[in-house]
Structure 1
Amino acid sequence: MKQIIDRYDSHSKTLQKSEAPSQLQSHVDDSTCATLREELAESSLKLRQMRGEELQRLSIQQLQELEKTLESGLGSVLKTKSQKILDEINGLERKRMQLIEENSRLKEQVTRMARIERQLGADSEVVYEEGQSSESVTNASYPRPPADTDDGGSDTSLRLGLPLFNSK
């Protein structure tokens, strides 16, 4: 019987010791929660003041500090915005240069095609003008044969590449 009572006493003491830290932890959690609520309320008030709300309670010195903070933030925003605009302008300039290079390459290619066509003795004359599209050059270089008037159909043939032989 004495052993049972001793075990009960030791067990109850152990339970009391384990409950004490949980009460202490609960108190710490409540304290932390209260501190965080205060910080949240203070931060919310500062945010509203930065938006121009609830400024009546501020002194002139506090208003000047708020103004400096806002000017500093605005300066940072303007600097970032300017940098992004400059980056976009530089990207567009690079793209413009690539397009100019591609345009000159395509003009050279059209000129080479014209020389090859002249060398092959093609009987259709092609007039290359500044700004003429490759489609109009192709259409002028390879005219369509007259449509058959017998059956009222249209020409559905496909022509690719340079003409090597005259089909006349």
Structure 2
Amino acid sequence: MGRGKVVLQRIENKISRQVTFAKRRNGLLKKAYELSILCDAEVALVLFSHAGRLYQFSSSSNMLKTLERYQRYIFASQDAVVPTSDEMQNNYLEYMELKARVEVLQHSQRNLLGEDLAPLNTSELDQLESQVGKTLRQIRSRKTQVLLDELCDLKRKEHMLEDANLTLKRKLDEMEVDAAPPPPPPPQQQLTWQNDHGVAVPSYAPPQPDHFFQALECSPSLQPAFRCMDVNQPPPAWMA
């Protein structure tokens, strides 16, 4: 069977209590010594028995140096954690100042929204109106600038789309020209002539431009190849 759980409470029997103290004391001193050797720690142990007897252990040569170091550390920690009365007063004044500024800003915000205007006098209302007008002008100026920027952006996109459209149209025209069939040959003029056997044979001649045919001018030097003869005269001999 397992060992039962030991209840930690004061030992009523005096002799048993002294024996247990001696055993636990020796074990505690041994653990403190081992901790200082194994971990290179500065250990100081102070122990008083029920009868008021002192037991101590120090890993250093002087227990007082360790205790002084302990006191300096404790006091420094307390000074860093616990503020002085002057610091507390300064912190409180700073808090109240920040709180007042927050309240003023909240009140100004409500006034700008058109709320809590009843306590304001004429001068304060004029100042508020001037402030609202200035804010409104700034808002309008910023809005105009944003609209102009958007308009410039839209125009830039429009130019880009126009350039892309022209490029696409040019490519389509080139594709249509490449895919179009070649033009038909020009018609030829048909001429007929008779061969030696009296059969009409068609002959084709290419069409000639307008300047190919030129009008002939009448020249007075050209005379007909015949002359008029008198009918009362006898015919020539070759006609007899």
Shorter-chain TM-score bucket reads: 0.5 to 0.7
Deviations along 1:104-161, one digit per CA (max 9) or x if unpaired, are 1100000001111126x6xxxxxxxxxxxxxxxxxxxxxxxxxxxxxxxxxxxxxxxx
Unaligned runs of at least 5 residues, structure 1? 122-168
Deviation at 1:79, TM superposition (A): 0.2
Deviations along 1:51-82, one digit per CA (max 9) or x if unpaired, are 11011111111100000000000000000000
Give distance in 2, aligned partners of 1:118 and 1:51.
73
Which residue number in structure 1 is paired with residue 91 of structure 2? 29
Pick aligned residue for 1:92 from 154, 167, 183? 154
Give distance in 1, aligned partners of 2:178 and 2:100.
84
- Larger of the two Rg values belongs to structure: 2
Which residue number in structure 2 is paired with residue 57 of structure 1? 119
Deviation at 1:20, TM superposition (A): 9.1
Q: Secondary structure at the match of 2:115?
A: coil
Q: Secondary structure at the match of 1:91?
A: helix
Deviation at 1:22, TM superposition (A): 2.1
Pick aligned residue for 1:80 from 132, 142, 147? 142
With normalisation by structure 1, the TM-score equals: 0.59
Count of aligned pairs between the two proteins? 110
Deviation at 1:24, TM superposition (A): 1.3
Higher helix share: 1
Unaligned runs of at least 5 residues, structure 2? 1-63, 183-240
State, as a whole percentage, how many aligned pairs show the same letter.
22
Letter in 2 for 1:37: K
Give distance in 2, aligned partners of 1:75 and 1:20.
52
Give distance in 2, aligned partners of 1:22 and 1:106.
82
CA RMSD of aligned residues (A): 2.6
Deviation at 1:32, TM superposition (A): 0.4
With normalisation by structure 2, the TM-score equals: 0.42
Spell out the pairing of 1:1-168 with structure 2 (5 A cutoff).
Answer: 18=79, 22-118=84-180
Which residue number in structure 2 is paired with residue 149 of structure 1? none
Letter in 2 for 1:24: D
Give distance in 2, aligned partners of 1:103 and 1:51.
51
Deviation at 1:26, TM superposition (A): 1.2
Q: Secondary structure at the match of 1:74?
A: helix
Give distance in 2, aligned partners of 1:80 and 1:107.
41
